[in-house]
Chain A
Amino acid sequence: MIYFDNAATTRPDPEALARAGEFTTELYFNPSAKYGGGFSVSKKLEKMREALLGTVGGKDRYDLIFTSCGSESDNQAIFCGGKRGNVVTTQGEHAAVFSACTELKNRGVEPRFAPVKGDGSADIEALLSLVDDKTSLVSVIHVNNETGAVNDVAAIAKAVKKKNPRALFMSDGVQAYGKLNFTLPPEIDLYSVSAHKIGGLKGTGALFKRKGLALNPYIYGGGQEGGARSGTENTFGVAVFAYAAEKKFRTLKEDAIRLCTLRENLFSLLQGEIFTRISPKEGSPYILTVSAAGMRGEVLQRMLWDRGLCVGTGSACSSKNRFSRVMTACGYPQSILDGVLRLSFSPETTDGEIVRAADILNETTKEYIRNTF
């Protein structure tokens, strides 16, 4: 099987799993325990935290809060950062941000949604026009998970702070972390990430928080994570995350260059009269979103699965929520929205897979047309 749904989740890295194994066999102690075993686990946990901090921010500038997933990180940032006035975000956000911001309405905070451009990136001018002196938080996704469009969050954060220095700036970095060459600038206060998009496990997320920023916890309890997120630490998950990230960051630049070439090769091999490109060229090298106009993405997805190619889609056959909210916001007509396929890669993706996948995609769509048009 060719697995091109890495933006949904990646195959857990076997090396990272093996290295982290000790946390399930010998080092199973609770890191809060005050005896030797607990202490040694706690020490290792802090080392891993430091290593992860070093990847994009550095331990002098940021704290890292381990959470259960990217969505939890987003929720904590929004509900604990956006407490008054208004919160400004975009139509192109992941549901974890979008739904949380919508919920703010019920908590007395006004959510404001800036439009997106055709490729899914934020309309920065429109976004900035929504920011005023009552804005408590601005949230902009780093890499759009449906189209791969990259928002220059460093520049946006700078512009936001210029307009309102008191507003917090957060970014959902789930599809960017470990994939884009990027260092957190001082203007970004909060940055959420997830382990299972880069070879870690589901159930492990983290939130980068600028040092000195006081952020309330979202989960209260035993006061772990310096009180910022209670609950016994997921030591095994964190270890797999840290080891997978260590490996991922080592080859980050080469991977990005290689996958960019592969992505372009794939698109050039696809039948031009069938596939419309949605992902921008300057977008994430890890995502190629296309649309087979007039076809049903979900049906194609099942046909492709039966032919050994696993892809994501932006549409559903059901009449409820048939179209993706984000793709609709991009302004595409219904025929394009129906046929959206998201092909997403990992460093494991090979040249051969690209060629075979293109064949399967071309053949399957032709068959679809033969059968239904």
Chain B
Amino acid sequence: MEKVVILRYAEIHLKGKNRGYFERVFSTNLERALKGLRHELRRTSGRYLVAAFDEEKSDEIMRRVSRVFGVHSYSAGLLVSNDIESIFEAAKLVAPESGSFKVQTHRGDKHYPLTSMEISAEIGGRLLGENPALRVDVHTPKHTVYIDIREGGKALVFGSFEDGLHGMPVSTAGKGLLLISGGIDSPVAGYMMAKRGLTVEALHFHSYPYTNEGAKEKVVSLAKILSEYTLVHRITAVSVTHIQEEIHKKCAAELNVTLLRRFMFRIAEKIAGREGAKCLVTGESLGQVASQTLEGLTSSNAVVSLPVLRPLIGFDKEDIIAVAKKIGTYEISVLPYEDCCTVFLPDFPAIRPSLSYIEEEEKKLDVDALVEEALSTREVIQL
């Protein structure tokens, strides 16, 4: 008898001839997620088993696989030989101490001499005989003992299904660059694109000394949580201080944020090019703030040729918050550090600026030189 964590995968089964590729990436991702923990990853048909781990680490293994995209569900269970005696020994360990229960059997190996119903009845009967505090209820049982007869003379016995994150294995959809701030939205946007298989690199803009070290630390903390899902353990930081100063001095105050965002997109595209990212990802949601109006988005899009993915575009704030809470970034996002100092915030930002007006104002700046200068401040932080 061996303790294992059973993983079932999600959308991969939809893939036809590419299935092998998806499965290879999925198992690589599992290995990356389990890095540093003693374990053995086994692939069986339609399942992965994590085995040979230290028993006291089983919670940590469960926690880590719960964050891997592509996992449909997972269970802590026991791997045994498929003879009834062995299955019964395992079932005794999985069964509750008291209360109602049923046994549910899945027979992956159709050559097994007993049918699913017969196995369930046999094991259920024996459990009942062993422990008088148990009671069978096949309709609304409090507990279920699951038996899965596998190929190769093996069976899996477990007590519950935990829901996985679903989605696609990260890196099956290529690489993107996430613009991450200290707010609630951008980590959620990164999470959602990673869920569709994107490798999410992260880029943070700061304006030290107008923002403080705490703001950067906050982003690093967020990126660390995000990295448990994206499996990317670094973040790039770039200073836009001088750009903000120049915009503030030379351009219409109402366009401060609009112009800054155009710079951010330009810088992001350059960095994406260096890192092989084929798209930008932002946490923008239509109409959420002045810079996220259709005109605002158009103005940012106009300076880049890479596609800009905005997975939250149709989300309400409360929907975004719900995801942020689920993935564990919310608590950090709401800590009181400002990602943009109020020094540069106009009293009334332009809500629907025309592209021609924006471009006219931007002519007052040496755009290329400012972008190059900002790129020279680039630092890569390992998480």
Give me the interface of A with B, judged by CB distance under 8 Å: 296, 298-299, 302-303, 306, 317-320, 371-373
Kindly provide the distance from the CB of B249 to the nearest chain A CB, expressed in whole angstroms. Answer: 7
B337:A318 contact, CB within 8 angstroms: yes
In the complex the two chains form, is A317's CB within 8 Å of B342's CB? yes
- Among the listed A317, A371, A373, which residue makes an inter-chain contact with B211, where contact means beta carbons less than 8 Å apart? A317
Q: How far is the CA of A371 from the CA of B343 in the complex (A)?
A: 11
Alpha-carbon gap, A101 to B52, bound state (A):
60
Answer whether residue B248 sits at the interface, using C-beta atoms and an 8 A cutoff. yes
Determine the chain A residues whose CB is within 8 A of the CB of B344 once the complex forms.
Answer: 372
Given contacts A299-B343, A302-B212, 13 further A-B contacts (CB under 8 A): A296-B341, A296-B343, A298-B212, A306-B209, A317-B211, A317-B341, A317-B342, A317-B343, A319-B338, A320-B336, A372-B248, A372-B249, A372-B344
Decide if B161 is an interface residue (CB 8 Å cutoff). no
Task: Give the distance in Å from the alpha carbon of A299 to the alpha carbon of B213 in the complex.
Answer: 11
Which residues of A lie under 8 Å from residue B212 when comparing CB positions? 298, 302, 317
For B341, what are the chain A residues with a Cβ–Cβ distance below 8 Å? 296, 299, 317
Q: Which chain A positions have C-beta within 8 A of B343?
A: 296, 299, 317, 372
Q: Is B245 an interface residue (CB 8 A)?
A: yes
Write out the residue numbers on chain A whose beta carbons fall within 8 Å of the beta carbon of B211.
317
For chain B, the count of residues having a C-beta within 8 Å of the partner chain is 15
CB-CB < 8 A to A306: which residues of B?
Answer: 209
B53 contacts the other chain (Cβ, under 8 Å)?
no
The answer to whether B338 touches A317, judged by C-beta atoms less than 8 angstroms apart, is: yes
Q: Is the interface of B mostly helix, strand, loop or mixed?
A: loop
Q: Cα distance A306–B212 when bound, in Å?
A: 12
> Which B residues are CB-close (under 8 A) to A320?
336
Contacts of A318 in B (CB 8 A): 336-338
Does B315 have its Cβ within 8 Å of any Cβ on chain A? no
Contact string against A for B residues 206-235, beta-carbon threshold 8 Å, 1 for contact and 0 otherwise: 001111100000000000000000000000
**Interchain nearest-CB distance for A329 vs B (Å):** 22
- Contact (A303, B209) CB under 8 Å given A371-B245, A371-B249, A372-B248: yes
| B213 CB to nearest chain A CB (Å) | 8
* Chain B residues, Cβ within 8 Å of A302: 208-209, 212
Per-residue interface assignment for chain B, residues 232 to 275, with 1 indicating a CB less than 8 Å from any chain A CB and 0 otherwise:
00000000000001001100000000000000000000000000
Contact A299 B338 (CB under 8 A): no
B136 CB to closest chain A CB, in angstroms?
A: 57
Residue of B nearest to A295 (CB): B343
Find chain A residues with CB under 8 A from B208 CB: 302
A-B contact pairs, 30 of them (CB 8 A): A296-B210, A296-B341, A296-B342, A298-B212, A299-B209, A299-B341, A302-B208, A302-B209, A302-B212, A303-B209, A306-B209, A317-B211, A317-B212, A317-B338, A317-B341, A317-B342, A317-B343, A318-B336, A318-B337, A318-B338, A319-B338, A320-B336, A371-B245, A371-B248, A372-B245, A372-B248, A372-B249, A372-B343, A372-B344, A373-B249
CA distance A22 to B217 in the complex (A): 40
Query: In the complex, what residues of B have CB within 8 A of residue A299's CB?
Result: 209-210, 341, 343
Q: How far is the CB of A371 from chain B (nearest CB, A)?
A: 4
Query: Most B CB atoms within 10 A — which of A298, A303, A306?
Result: A298
Inter-chain CA distance A320–B336, complex, in Å, is: 8
Task: Give, as a whole number of angstroms, the nearest-CB distance from B198 to chain A.
Answer: 33
Which A residues are in CB contact (< 8 Å) with B248? 371-372
> For the complex, what is the distance from the CA of A319 to the CA of B210, rounded to whole Å?
14
Which B residues are in CB contact (< 8 Å) with A303? 209
Count chain A CB atoms within 10 A of each CB in B211, B337, B341, B343 and give the residue with the most.
B343
Residues of chain B contacted by A317 (CB below 8 angstroms): 210-212, 338, 341-343
Which B280-306 residues sit within 8 Å CB-CB of chain A?
A: none
What is the distance, in angstroms, from B366's C-beta to the closest C-beta of chain A? 16
B342 and A319 form a contact (CB under 8 A): yes
Instruction: Give bound CA distance, A318 to B215, whole Å.
Output: 11
Chain A residues with CB under 8 A of B338: 317-319
Q: Smallest CB–CB gap between B261 and chain A, Å?
A: 19
Give chain A nearest CB distance to B63 CB in angstroms: 33
With A and B bound together, what is the CA distance between A299 and B210 in angstroms? 5
Question: Complex: how many Å from CA A243 to CA B344?
Answer: 49
How far, in angstroms, from A274 to B210 measured CA to CA in the complex? 19
Chain B contacts of A319 at CB under 8 A? 338, 342
CA distance A306 to B241 in the complex (A): 15
Write the chain A residue with the least CB distance to B248: A372
Instruction: For the complex, give the distance between the alpha carbons of A318 and B210 in Å.
Output: 11
Hey, which chain A residues are within 8 Å of B209, CB to CB?
A: 299, 302-303, 306
Q: For the complex, give the distance between the alpha carbons of A306 and B239 in Å.
A: 15
B residues 343-357 touching A (CB-CB < 8 Å): 343-344
* Docked pose: A342 CA to B245 CA in angstroms: 26
The smallest C-beta distance from B372 to any residue of chain A, in angstroms, reads 19
- Cα A47 to Cα B58 in complex, Å, equals 58
Interface hits, B51-101 → A, CB 8 Å: none
Q: State in angstroms the CA–CA spacing of A341 and B27 once bound together.
A: 57
Interface residues of B in 322-351 (CB under 8 A from A): 336-338, 341-344
From B209, B210, B249, B336, residue with most partner A Cβ within 10 Å: B209
- What is the bound-complex CA distance between A318 and B342, given in angstroms? 8
User: Which residues of chain A have C-beta atoms less than 8 A from B245's C-beta?
Assistant: 371-372
Residue ID in chain A nearest B215 by CB atoms = A317
Quote the shortest CB–CB distance from A253 to chain B (angstroms).
39
C-alpha gap A46/B211 in the complex (Å): 49
Which residues of chain A have C-beta atoms less than 8 A from B249's C-beta? Answer: 371-373
Task: Kindly state the separation between the CA atoms of A299 and B245 in the bound complex, as whole angstroms.
Answer: 13
Residue on A with the closest CB to B213?
Answer: A302
Q: Which 9 A-B pairs have the closest CB atoms?
A: A302-B209, A371-B245, A303-B209, A318-B336, A317-B341, A299-B210, A299-B209, A320-B336, A317-B338
Complex Cα distance, B249 from A298, in Å, reads 20
Q: Which residue of A lies closest to B241 (CB)?
A: A371
Closest to B211 in A: A317
| Chain A residues near B337 (CB-CB < 8 A) | 318
Instruction: State how many angstroms separate the Cβ of A363 from the closest Cβ of chain B.
Output: 14
Q: Report the separation of the CA atoms of residues A211 and B311 in the bound assembly, to the nearest whole angstrom.
A: 70
Q: How far is the CB of A323 from chain B (nearest CB, A)?
A: 12
Q: How far is the CB of B79 from chain A (nearest CB, A)?
A: 54
Nearest CB to that of B341 among chain A residues? A317
B218 CB, min distance to chain A CBs, angstroms = 12
B108 CB to closest chain A CB (Å) equals 58
Q: How far is the CB of B207 from chain A (nearest CB, A)?
A: 10
Q: Distance in Å from the Cβ of B270 to the closest Cβ of chain A?
A: 24
Complex Cα–Cα for A298 and B341 (A) = 10
- Give the docked Cα–Cα distance between A296 and B210 (Å): 9
